[in-house]
Amino acid sequence: MSGGALFRSGYATIVGRPNIGKSTLLNALIGRKASIVSRVPGTTRFSIAGIREMPDAQIIFFDTPGIYRPHNELESAMYAHACQSVVDADAVLFVLPSNGITDGDLEILGRLRDIARDAGRPLDRTPVLAVFNKIDLLEDRAQVLPVIERARGIHPFAEYVPVSALKGDNVERLAQAIVGHLPERERLFRDDSALRLPERLHIAEIIREKAFHKLYQEVPQGTAVVVEDVRPGDRNPEMLVITANIIVERDNHKAIIIGEKGARLTAIGRAAREELSAVLGRPVFLQLQVVVRERWTKRPEFIRQLGY
């Protein structure tokens, strides 16, 4: 950068339990519409969820599949993808509830430690920022203080930042905290400011997460989501029309996901549509169906079609 001005650029990965507000936080950090980027040679080959441009910095956010224990070849590929995004990050944002740390949060922290250890890079060598979300739901925001104290006892976090991703409270402070942990270097990506078709992998992961949440312990093994089409609406170009299939291996698995009179599939679609609209900053029409493909988890060529 000319003139000797200090500029920082680097990667940040957001992790945390499902429904903790990761997507809302990402949306607040990068703005209402995610950017599509042009890759500069030598930079990451993994999906980018969006970029925040600042006068003195560029923060690139990884599009990270969930960090959960894999049960088949597909989930192993997704887990490897998530692990790599954590290892390659210059900073990790660990989103925690502002009203109390749960066993689920501790499980995610344990997996982060395992990922870092397996990569030969202990987690305490990576700046991990504790982000306490949903402070707007507290009767008194001072209630977050004992939660922060508990967090100090479970890991030496680099920062402790309470936020309301929904209201935007403290989001600017969080962005500045991230910048403080990025290396000094030029921009890694050129921003392609207009919103084009979003990453299909990111859309599929949101739908898949909602399916897992709605099904709880009943989710069949060998469940994946394939986004077949993303296009602007014919009558309303601002609307995105998304066509996606939930892939299962057996007919009885299909019945589990559809539910009685289609109730479960409807609930999955509604929850996914709401989050996709929030993340993408525009209305979404989601066409969702369940498709049986026998033994697909043992077919590497199909797994590659999912982006792994």
Is there a single domain that holds both residue 68 and residue 187? yes
Phi and psi at 249, nearest 5°, equal -100, -15
Contact 141, 167 (CB under 8 A): no
Q: Are residues 136 and 159 in the same domain?
A: yes
Q: What is the CATH number for 246?
A: 3.30.300.20
Query: Of 192, 224, 251, which residue constitutes the final position of a domain?
Result: 192
Reference 65, options 82, 86, 48, 89; nearest CA is 82
Average pLDDT (27-51) is 53
Per-residue pLDDT reduced to its tens digit, 78-115: 677 778 888 889 999 999 999 999 999 999 999 999 98
Mean pLDDT of the chain: 83
Query: Do 133 and 251 have their domain in common?
Result: no
CA 126 – CA 206 distance, rounded (Å):
26
> 293 and 147 share a domain?
no
Instruction: Say if residue 33's pLDDT is above 70.
Output: no
Provide the residue range defining the domain that includes 37. Answer: 2-192
Same domain, 9 and 53: yes
Residues 240-279 pLDDT 10s? 999 999 999 889 999 999 999 999 999 999 999 998 998 8
Residues 93, 140, single domain; the answer is yes
Query: Parallel, antiparallel, or unpaired: how do β-strands 8-16 and 91-97 relate?
Result: parallel
Task: To the nearest 10°, report the CA torsion of 43, 45, 51, 56.
Answer: -10
Mean pLDDT calculated for residue range 56-65: 82
Looking up residue 132, the CATH number of its domain turns out to be 3.40.50.300
Q: What is the pTM of this model?
A: 0.68
Residues 208, 126 share a domain: no
Nearest C-alpha neighbor of 291 from the set 254, 265, 262, 264: 254
Between 298 and 184, name the one with better pLDDT: 184
